[in-house]
A and B are shown apart, each in its own frame.
Chain A
Amino acid sequence: DTEVTQTPKHLVMGMTNKKSLKCEQHMGHRAMYWYKQKAKKPPELMFVYSYEKLSINESVPSRFSPECPNSSLLNLHLHALQPEDSALYLCASSQDGAGMAEAFFGQGTRLTVV
């Protein structure tokens, strides 16, 4: 199984809503990532979890809250988002450690904030 599964595929939420994005992988990878991607831009790193611990937080606003319940699951909790947060949110995983070349990406959640 070389899949990273993200749910939901599409999400529309109001600025006062609370929602969560979910990501799951069963490849035994110990690093998991959240990226944000705007149209015609590269993926922009938000968070990195390594061995279920948050290792990198790229100065992301607190309205985004990551959670790693176990080595296979990664969540992104959303609260009080702004319309400019509308984007494609990508989850990825990789074997941890330097020299590991490949990250596997999920298909993403397309988020619209109204």
Chain B
Amino acid sequence: GQSLEQPSEVTAVEGAIVQINCTYQTSGFYGLSWYQQHDGGAPTFLSYNALDGLEETGRFSSFLSRSDSYGYLLLQELQMKDSASYFCAVRDNYGQNFVFGPGTRLSVLP
């Protein structure tokens, strides 16, 4: 089986930096992905880590520590449009299955 944990809510102001953590327990771990979902919209892919370390994509960075079963998504220079739910997700079961964490609702205040 698999389980993932994330904080349920995070609030920050425009221009700030926020970190959303994810811990996981899973069999056959292949990597940790991050998805953004605005209310009423579809999840969209943000970032992926298969190996330990930091991946940077514009204002978003993602980190993975496989030994700690832990990762985080770092959002810099926050903008109002970043208000959304953020999900970590793992591929397991020999890569057949995307399983999502419970999601973190980010609110960006002016």
Contacts and interface: CB of A to CB of B under 8 A. Distances in A.
Place the interface of chain B in its size category: 20 to 34
B95 A107 contact: no
Nearest to B103: A42
B93 A56 contact: yes
Contacts of B31: 99, 101
B42 A90 contact: yes
A101 B48 contact: yes
Interface residues of A, number: 28
Contact of A56 (B43, B97, B102): B97
Contacts of A92: 43, 98
B96 A43 contact: no
Among A43, A90, A105, A108, the most chain B Cβ lie within 10 Å of the Cβ of: A43
Contacts of B100: 42-44
A102 interface: yes
A29 to B, nearest CB: 13
Interface string B30-42: 1101000000011
B48 A102 contact: yes
B87 A42 contact: yes
25 contacts: A31-B96, A42-B87, A42-B101, A42-B103, A43-B43, A43-B100, A45-B97, A50-B96, A90-B43, A92-B43, A94-B98, A98-B95, A99-B50, A100-B95, A101-B31, A101-B45, A101-B48, A101-B50, A101-B91, A102-B45, A102-B48, A103-B33, A106-B42, A107-B41, A108-B42
Interface of B: 30-31, 33, 41-45, 48, 50, 87, 89, 91, 93-103, 105
